[in-house]
A = this chain, B = another copy of it.
């Protein structure tokens, strides 16, 4: 039925409308942010309020899913694991909310365990393709990683056994007087932590103090486990993740080609003189106009002339299949637009002084002069800003920077200057204008009420320092490095979502396990409990002595910051002290997942970007070499 089909197409176009996608992501964000207001909260809200918002979110997700079900054939919908996942998540969340509400109203203690599932929505919505691909690649790479991990654990177990036998019976003492290396499980954990270098060299000192020789044991351990095994993990994660990601992309390309072939079969017309069927130019034009309505005529002409390179008025299967790739190619329209001033007052713009100015601004010396100004500015920033001379110099620098932007706008066509790819022009203009506004506000507040807002001042400082970053763009080598880093931006975004999902899950679990165990007392607090973070168990521990009280799981923001710290250095002794020795499992698991797997994927992305960058150089080098070899 044609009518039915038409509604379907309309529904499909509606489903892919950008506003609905933004709405979906907004509600996912809202649902994730609920953790800020739920118990344990940064800003507590009553349970009914957060529940209400969550129900709203669930409703939105359900509507979106129903919409998707209308668009997609029924059998395909039920075969797709991501839909099943969403349904299960929504159901479980609902069940959990009902149970929790009932428990709460009966004044029982309830755990909102379904909060762990929230970030999984991010993965399973239709738009989370990249993220889903990343997770799938990790899942596929896991067996290989697992074998290395087994070998790594075997090595730790063997070393622990050796340590137990060598050091356990010598009556050595830790710095706090407790016996050193007498429990096997304790040794395994301590040696695992040594791999993260968090307890180096402390864990080795009692043995090293007893004899030189024992240092050899620890050095061998570090060499094998910290250096060799961690490198092997990087190699294995790198290889396997890339392998499966490439496999995914390849399957995608294959699927695309398959669909294009099917489209061709629908659109093809038999040629009059016989031979291969073709798609005529008229049909082709219609299709392109339907797919990308806002493509310019010139662009479409260009694409057609590329496809129909023999100018036959129709294209075959091979040329048609390439259409999808052709549409993806970004065509930069390089119009040598005249400067607006040129047609506003041509005589002035073309006059000798104006042309001299243009030549000056485009000269290398102009860049050098401004780099020098930036350097002088850096020195002035470093000096004491209480000095009125220094404080006033800020206005001079601001004026100079604004002058630079105005001069450039005078010389270069404004739309070219602010084109999509001129990252540094955008950066410059935004920073300078923001600094100008913030400085004006700041000095206005100062003069009017003799009161300076610390927040505004902070922003002014940050903007001032950020202006210095611009100098990087003047040095070619630096530009190459930064461009390489910018190129992996999209990959890093996917990676950021990945780590958000993992952090969120660990934060939720960590909050249930450790909330309220460690309390932070403000700077001005005089509570005696401040010395031991409000938990007598911490009295006298390093955790309390080093004033780590704010590293806690008492709300979702603290948890996230703590998880970042744990990623850098896995220090968990405090939490083990306040709960139970088995809490270590949480921290070891976190280390395995975040540091060994996910961080290595991040490193792999950076490595790959630079390898690609360098392989371009190397190829030309190789050609030279081949030439050199042939002349011998």
Residues of B within 8 Å of A369, CB to CB, are: none
The minimal Cβ–Cβ distance linking A588 to chain B, given in whole angstroms, is 18
Give A567 Cβ to nearest chain B Cβ, in Å.
Answer: 8
Q: Once the chains bind, are B625 and A250 in contact (CB under 8 Å)?
A: yes
A151 interfacial contact with B, CB 8 Å: yes
Minimal beta-carbon separation of A376 from chain B (angstroms): 14
For the complex, what is the distance from the CA of A239 to the CA of B561, rounded to whole Å? Answer: 34
A244 CB to nearest B CB, Å: 11
- Place the interface of chain A in its size category: 35 or more
Pairwise interchain contact B568-A235, C-beta atoms closer than 8 A: no
Q: Which residues of B contact A550 (CB under 8 A)?
A: 205, 208-209
A471 CB, nearest partner CB in chain B, Å: 8
Q: Which of A79-87, A107-115, A226-234, A510-518 contacts B (4 or more CB under 8 A)?
A: A226-234
Does A166 reach chain B (CB closer than 8 Å)?
yes
Task: Assess whether A254 is interfacial by the CB under 8 Å rule.
Answer: yes
A89 in the interface, Cβ–Cβ < 8 Å?
Answer: no
Partner of A175, one of B209, B482, B546: B546
A349→B499 CA distance, assembly (Å):
65
Select one of B166, B465, B547 contacting A165, CB under 8 A: B465
Closest Cβ neighbor of A239 among chain B residues: B614
Which residue of chain B is the closest to A480 with respect to CB atoms? Answer: B147
| Cross-interface CB contact of A231 among B222, B254, B477, B607, cutoff 8 Å | B607
Interface residue ranges, A against B (CB under 8 Å): 147-148, 150-151, 154, 158, 161-162, 164-166, 175, 184, 197, 200-202, 204-205, 208-210, 212, 215, 219, 222, 226-228, 231-232, 234-236, 238-240, 243, 250, 254, 257-258, 378, 381-382, 458, 461-462, 464-465, 468-469, 472, 477-478, 481-482, 485, 520, 523, 545-548, 550-551, 557, 561, 564-565, 568-569, 571, 599, 602-603, 606-607, 609-611, 614, 618, 621, 625, 629, 632
List 28 contacting pairs A-B, 8 Å CB cutoff, sorted by A.
A147-B477, A147-B478, A148-B481, A150-B478, A151-B472, A151-B478, A154-B472, A162-B461, A165-B381, A165-B461, A197-B568, A201-B568, A205-B550, A208-B550, A209-B547, A219-B561, A227-B603, A231-B606, A231-B607, A234-B607, A235-B606, A235-B610, A235-B611, A240-B614, A250-B625, A254-B629, A254-B632, A258-B632
